[in-house]
Structure formats: structure tokens, C-alpha cells
Structure 1
Amino acid sequence: MWYLALAIISIFILFPIYLLFIVALAPSSEIFRSNPALIPSSVSLSSFIFVLHHYNITSSLFLSLETAFIVMGICLILGVPASYTISRLPHKVAYAIVILLFVTEMVPEIQIAVPIASVMVRLGLDNTAEGIALAQSSIILPMITYVMVGTFRTIPPRLRESARIDGASKLKSFTSIELPLALTGISVAAILAWLFSWDEFILAQVLSPYYKTLPVAIYYYSTRGQGGLAAADAFAIMMIIPVIIIVMVLQKYLRSDVLAGALK
């Protein structure tokens, strides 16, 4: 029964991605007919060729990559010590801080986009990867901190106490014991920060109307009818590929058995 439910959920999630590939790869004559087939009779790369020749994909790709990695770095540099500190507080205090983190996520992004853009313009950071990254980090960091708070709270306190008994300082205990044990959660947080930045649209659109990230570029070209729906889907597939590569590279750090022998 569970396998059937998982199969239905998987089909529901993956079917839009399947349609994305079908529209991008099928000839245009098959896409817009009255009853299009779910399996095209032939495959065409014309949409991808059109995107590479007519869209300024290179600059958008490098801007998105630069922004996403800066956001990931900011969230880890600020989020790791913040989440570690919160995790060591009394439960009620830590719970209150986590609630405050979620309250910041309740504000619609569109409401803070203009004030953030005004600050970035005054700082001269508009139309830059650094400005976009700082703005995105302000909305991504609370969620990433919450993820890592849960990670640090799963580490048994007696490991830290044993290290202190053996003469390790607080910093040594953190860097040598707790940080390596939290690597799985930190890797998940890093992937989430990267993905949130990679997909973010509103702040990137407001802060950088001239130098476009990939989500903004897809919107820009698709709304102007350049290449049609097939070209937009081909562009979206190109946007998915780096995500798959990043997840595959970081997947080796996602280990659930990292605490298996720690308490023996």
C-alpha cells in the first residue's frame, strides 16, 4: 500500500518535469496540435540551439552561480555559529528564538523587496552579485539557521562533556567533535541555501534589472515571445542541470550514520 502511495506521489511530482522535457525536445508541430502525444514521435534539439544562439545565457548563468555560492557562504559563516549558540541555550529560550526566526519568514517577500533595494542602491550594490546575495541571504538565513539548530541539538551533550573532561577547550570541542558530527546537517543547509538563491526571482528582478539571473532571464525572454514555450522550457532544463550537479557533488556528505559509533 505504501509503495502504491509513493508511486502516485512520485508521478504527481515528476510529471511536470516530464512535460518540461517533452515540450523542449518535441518538434513544434507536435506540441501545438489538437491532441499532443505524451511520447513524441521524434526528438529535436532546435529549442536548445535557439536558446544558445539568441539568449544571453552565459552571463545569466555565471551571475546565478556567483550569487548562489555567495549566499551559501554567507549562510554558513553566519548560520553555523548562530545555530550552535541557539542549540546550547535552554529549551524554552531556544524555542522562542526559533519562533522568531519563523516570524521573519511570514513577511511576504514582495513587501521587503523595495526597502531592501533602496538600501542596496544607497550602498552602490544594485546590479551586482554581491547586492543580490546580501538581499537573498536576509530571507534565506533564518530558515538555514533553523535547519542547523536541529542538527546541533541531535548531538549528545555527553560528547561535549567528555571532551571537556579530557581537557579540550570549548573551541576545540566545537571544531574537533561537534562540527564534524554536524557535517550532514550543515551540508543539507548548504544545499538548501544554494537552491533557494538559485530559484529566487523577486529580489533578483528588483535589484538587478539589467544583469539578469537565470529565473529573471527566463521570465524576460518568455514574456517577449522569443522562441516560444519550447525555448523557455529548454532554458529551464539548462537551469536544472547545475542543480543536479551540485546535489551529486554534495551527496557524499549526506550521511545518516555519522553518530553511529560516537557513543560507544
Structure 2
Amino acid sequence: MFPLFWWGLNSVKPAHAIFENFSVNWFDFTPTLDNYRVTLAGEGPSFFASRQAIFDTLLVAAGATIATLLAALPAAFALSLIQFRRQRLVFLWVLFHRILPPIAVLVPLVFIYWQIGLRDTRPGIILAHAAANLPFAVLLLKSFFDDVPREVGEAAVIDGATRFQSFLRIYAPLVKSGIAATAVLCFIFSWTEFLMALFLTNTIRLLPVQLSLVATQTWGFTSALSTASILPGFIFILLVQRHLVRGLTMGLAKG
């Protein structure tokens, strides 16, 4: 927790207290919100104004998380509960994409985005983040679907439910804790992802890129922006805390 404390402390320090020579100024200073005014309120050079970067990053992270879950849930359900030909081959194909680092496909992805007009667009970065998150989400959600007793689904089928109805009304509510855990992890990945945000955008500055630029100027502004950037993810985790703890516990028990 000390690095977080240090970021928070530096964010309310004036510049002279941060850069004192031969000593560390812990609390012998007058707290100020100037660093937050410059980075969040835009009361300073436009280079440091980061409110739009936070909004864009929040939009991209939320969009990528929703897109990932919409694609991963039916895929995980099928891999776990539906028997079909070459099922293991499909599972290994998903696992391969989980192992493949995003940087390995970044260069061809940039050229593809140039050709189809998705570079430097919010839908483009959302799609890229969702594609990077998808294998991880499928494998994680599959482990939660594997924990659901098969008798539950069989009883629903006997009562006349279709596969889609079983998925929507029976299985999805039973694995909501796993869905919450997966959503939090996907959101955090998208919120903190740097390489795709750097190479696939130009005029759109996502928060990790904006932080890398601000960090070259002054620690006060960097500390304020870093501290503020933690809050959205922290709030999201608090909202789904009960489901998150249960979901991660289920995953550990499965392992």
C-alpha cells in the first residue's frame, strides 16, 4: 500500500516540497489541490488537462468489458455444457490465443486498422481490447460453468426449456459471481492497457498514454493523475465486491 500512499501524498504537495534537496518532506508542507486543478479541472496548460483522457478510458474500458462478456458467455457455455465435434480443438484454439501476447499481433493490427478506417477511433480500441480479453474471459467463465451441476440443466430441459432459455434463466444467474469477477478483471486490463492505446490511437489519448506524457514533466501532476485514475476501478470493484470475492473463491476452489 505504500506506493499508493506516496502517490496520494505527493498529489497534494506543492512543487517545492516534492523536490527538496537531500531530504524527504513527509508532512511539513501546506496541502494544495493545484495539481488536481491542472490535470482534472484544466486550470493550466492544455497539455496537462486529462479529464477527456479519463472519460475516453472509462468509455473504452466499459465498452470492451461489455463486448467481451457478450461474446464470452455463450462461447464458455457451449464449451462447458454442449458436446460437439472437435470441441477439444476449439478449446485449444482459445487457449492458444490466451497464450499469444497482444504485442505479437500489434503491428499487423495497426495496418489492418489503417485499411478499414478503425485507427484512432473509440470503436477500434474497444474492439481491440475486447479481442485481447476474449480468450481469458472464455476460459475463466468456462470454469464457472463447469461448477454448475448438470442435473440443473437437465431438469430445465425436461420442463421444456430450450438451450437459450437454460443459458439465460438457469445458468447465467448461477454463475453471476463468476461473471462479476470476469468483468472486473477485463475492466482492469482495459483500463491499464498501454501498448494498444499507444499504437492504435493518435488524437485520442487514453489514460495510460496520458500518464506517460505527463510523467515527463512533473511528479506533482503525475501523482494527482495517478491517484485520480485509481478511483473508477476502485469504485467498480466496490460495487461488485460481494460477487467478486465469491467468484474468485470459486475459481480458486476449482483450481
Q: What TM-score, normalized to structure 2? A: 0.85
> Pairwise CA RMSD of aligned residues?
2.3
Corresponding position of 2:224: 234
The secondary structure found in structure 1 opposite 2:215 is helix
Equivalent residue, structure 1, for 2:141: 148
Q: For residues 61-90 of structure 1, give each alpha carbon's deviation from its aligned partner in whole angstroms, at most 9, with x where no partner exists.
A: 221122112111210111000011111257
- Flag the 1:220–1:41 CA change in 2: closer, same or farther, 3 A: closer
| Aligned with residue 246 of structure 1, among 224, 229, 236 | 236
Structure 2 residue 117 is the aligned partner of structure 1 residue 130: no
Shift of residue 37 of structure 1? 4.3
Select 2:35's aligned residue among 33, 47, 55: 47
The one-letter code matched in structure 1 to 2:166 is S
**Greater Cα offset, 197-206 or 165-174:** 165-174
1:49 maps to a residue whose letter is: R
Q: Is the 1:23–1:31 contact (alpha carbons within 8 Å) kept by the matching residues of 2? A: yes
- Aligned-pair distance for 1:186? 0.9
Query: Aligned ranges for residues 188-203 of structure 1 at < 5 Å?
Result: 188-203=181-196
Question: Who is 1:25 aligned against?
Answer: 12
Alpha-carbon separation, structure 1, partners of 2:173 and 2:108: 39
What fraction of aligned residue pairs are identical, expressed as a percent?
A: 25
Kept in 1: contact 2:145–2:171 (CA 8 A): yes
Aligned partners of 1:87 and 1:94 also within 8 Å: no
* Structure 1 unmatched ranges of 5 or more: 1-13, 260-264
Equivalent residue pairs, number: 240
Q: CA deviation at 1:98?
A: 4.7
More deviation, 63-72/161-170? 161-170
So what's the TM-score if we normalise by structure 1?
0.82
Displacement of 1:206? 0.5
